[in-house]
């Protein structure tokens, strides 16, 4: 069996989505997803550059092809490249599992749990709206709630945001009670000094973890934070390849690894990072704000990991791109269920592409400080 086609697919809907379809000369077709939104054209260009190195190759050689994709240009692939490689790698694993006639998780070590607990995104512009949506999610059967660190529209005043964020966390905890796990995503918006104040302020309300409390460029910021707070920290969604995880894992700077399968390098690389984390008693909570393929790939990884904690499920199966993916994985009362068919368990109908909304142009939302200076969204 040989690879006969490698095709990037970019579509619009609730957000832009980037997929890769890999076809073989025996009629098998795998699909993967790449995870850097607003950089879809760049990922597509990287896939086009890799195509000559993939055509005619054996799709079963996932590790070999991963090494080729990362290193064939002499300069190792960066984050955009790693996201493109992720999409191709997931598609190759899909083909491999289809060829062997088994669900993909069987190739990752086999099933270690019966279902995968997930958390949804809680949304609202005010504390009252956040509380109402959190209660709605609990009523639907979710065991976790997750919400964003607050800003005042497109203005982020760090000290005011910390005060508001602590008050919001306290209000949601009071509403949902002690048995619902709570996660807050700071989204890399704070410097260490403000992050320390925020983490200390919400500690009495028992967060499951605080996501991305500081920027990801410097592990030293995490070290400073860990020396002064005791709440669990989750980071890693912006890391591409095992090498970017190296210091935070080896120095125990995180409690939860937020591996993004669609950025880190696909299933091939995610497995290595996850097993490495196990030796440090770091649990895995995969990042997944994306579409049906990312959700399915995360599910298969989660089913096979002994050190899995919880799965982000921002867009429940069936709520996004149902025309393009008429077959998706199953969510039931806040849990993803194991697929029984071969491969990923998702099927793309390429004829539906023409009917989808156009790809949105532009960039991610932007925040500024009160003085007009740029800050992280």
Neighbouring-strand partners of residue 214? 190
- Quick one: 167 and 64 in the same domain? no
Is the Cβ–Cβ distance between 27 and 98 less than 8 Å? no
Structural domain contains residue 176: yes
- Quick one: 98 and 110 in the same domain? no
**Long-range contacts from 45-53, C-beta under 8 angstroms, 24+ separation:** 46/77, 46/80, 46/81, 46/83, 46/84, 46/85, 47/6, 47/8, 47/20, 47/84, 47/87, 47/88, 48/8, 49/73, 50/6, 50/84, 50/85, 50/88, 51/6
Catalytic residue among 64, 121, 287, 335: 287
Separation between Cα atoms, residue 332 and residue 59, nearest integer Å: 33
User: Annotated catalytic, 64?
Assistant: no
Is the Cβ–Cβ distance between 14 and 77 less than 8 Å? no
Unique residue bearing structure tokens 């209660």: 135
Structural domain contains residue 218: yes
Structural domain contains residue 353: no
- Quick one: 255 and 167 in the same domain? yes
CA distances from residue 144 to 29, 83, 127, 178, 207 in whole angstroms, order as listed? 35, 28, 18, 11, 11
Supply 60's token pair.
Answer: 């079963």
Supply 204's token pair.
Answer: 């009495």
Give the structural domain span for 116. 106-341
Cα angle: 30, vertex 308, 225; to 5 degrees: 115
Strands (E), 113-190: 116-119, 144-148, 181-185
Helix, coil or strand: residue 106:
helix
Query: How many structural domains compose the chain?
Result: 2
Helix, coil or strand: residue 354:
helix
The predicted pLDDT at position 377 comes to 81
The predicted pLDDT at position 76 comes to 85
Is the Cβ–Cβ distance between 40 and 13 less than 8 Å? no
Element (H, E) at 89: helix 79-100
Structural domain contains residue 376: no
CA distances from residue 348 to 21, 114, 342 in whole angstroms, order as listed? 9, 26, 15
Q: Which residues, other chains included, contact 227 with Cβ-Cβ below 8 Å and sequence gap of 6+? A: none
- Quick one: 119 and 178 in the same domain? yes
**Which of these three, 81, 103, 125, is where a domain ends?**
103
- Quick one: 174 and 305 in the same domain? yes
Name the phi and psi angles at 357, rounded to 5.
Answer: -60, 155
Structural domain contains residue 19: yes
Per-residue pLDDT of the chain (377 residues; tens, 9 = 90+): 999 999 999 998 888 999 999 999 999 999 999 999 889 999 999 999 999 999 999 999 999 999 999 999 888 888 999 999 999 999 999 999 999 999 999 999 999 999 999 999 999 999 999 999 999 999 999 999 999 988 888 998 999 999 999 999 999 999 999 999 999 999 999 999 999 999 999 999 999 999 999 999 989 999 999 999 999 999 999 999 999 999 999 999 999 999 999 999 999 999 999 999 999 999 999 999 999 999 999 999 999 999 999 999 999 999 999 999 999 999 999 999 999 999 999 999 999 998 888 888 878 888 999 999 999 88
- Quick one: 27 and 117 in the same domain? no
User: Annotated catalytic, 280?
Assistant: no
The CATH number linked to 316 is: 3.20.20.120
- Quick one: 243 and 111 in the same domain? yes
- Quick one: 138 and 286 in the same domain? yes
Strands (E), the chain: 3-12, 16-24, 29-34, 116-119, 144-148, 181-185, 209-211, 233-235, 256-257, 283-284, 311-312, 330-332, 335-337, 367-368, 374-375
The predicted pLDDT at position 37 comes to 86
- Quick one: 177 and 206 in the same domain? yes
- Quick one: 203 and 255 in the same domain? yes
The CATH number linked to 72 is: 3.30.390.10
Catalytic residue among 64, 121, 187, 300: 187
The predicted pLDDT at position 165 comes to 96
Name the phi and psi angles at 114, rounded to 5.
Answer: -85, -25
Is the Cβ–Cβ distance between 303 and 113 less than 8 Å? yes
Closest C-alpha among 4, 23, 35, 34 to residue 98 = 23
């Amino acid at each position: 069996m040989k690879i006969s086609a490698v095709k990037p697919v970019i579509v619009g809907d609730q957000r832009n989505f980037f997929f890769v379809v890999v076809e073989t000369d025996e009629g098998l077709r795998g699909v993967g997803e790449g995870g850097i939104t607003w950089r879809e054209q760049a990922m597509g260009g990287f896939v086009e550059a890799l195509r000559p190195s993939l055509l005619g190759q054996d799709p079963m050689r996932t590790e070999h092809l991963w090494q080729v994709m990362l290193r064939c240009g002499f300069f190792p692939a960066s984050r955009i490249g790693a996201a493109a490689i992720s999409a191709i790698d997931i598609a190759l694993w899909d083909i491999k599992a289809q060829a062997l006639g088994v669900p993909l998780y069987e190739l990752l070590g086999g099933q270690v749990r019966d279902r995968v607990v997930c958390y949804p995104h809680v949304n609202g512009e005010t504390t009252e709206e956040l509380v109402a949506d959190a209660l709605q999610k609990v009523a639907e059967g979710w065991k976790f709630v997750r919400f964003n660190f607050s800003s005042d529209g497109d203005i982020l005043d760090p000290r005011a945001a910390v005060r508001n964020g602590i008050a919001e966390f306290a209000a949601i905890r009071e509403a949902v009670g002690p048995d619902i796990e709570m996660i807050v995503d700071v989204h890399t918006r704070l410097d260490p000094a403000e992050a320390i104040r925020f983490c200390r302020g919400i500690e009495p309300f028992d967060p499951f973890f605080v996501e991305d409390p500081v920027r990801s460029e410097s592990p030293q910021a995490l070290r400073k934070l860990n020396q002064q707070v005791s709440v669990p920290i989750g980071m890693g969604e912006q890391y591409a390849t095992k090498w970017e995880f190296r210091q935070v894992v080896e120095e125990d700077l995180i409690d939860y690894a937020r591996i993004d399968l669609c950025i880190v390098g696909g299933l091939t690389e995610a497995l290595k990072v996850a097993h490495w984390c196990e030796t440090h008693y770091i649990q895995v909570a995969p990042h997944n704000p994306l579409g049906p393929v990312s959700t399915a790939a995360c599910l298969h990884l989660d089913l096979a990991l002994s050190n899995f904690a919880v799965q982000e499920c921002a867009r429940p199966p069936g709520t996004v791109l149902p025309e393009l993916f008429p077959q998706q994985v199953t969510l039931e009362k806040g849990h993803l269920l194991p697929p029984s068919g071969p491969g990923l368990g998702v099927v793309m109908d390429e004829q539906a592409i023409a009917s989808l909304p156009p790809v949105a142009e532009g960039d991610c939302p932007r925040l500024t400080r009160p003085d007009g200076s740029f800050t992280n969204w």
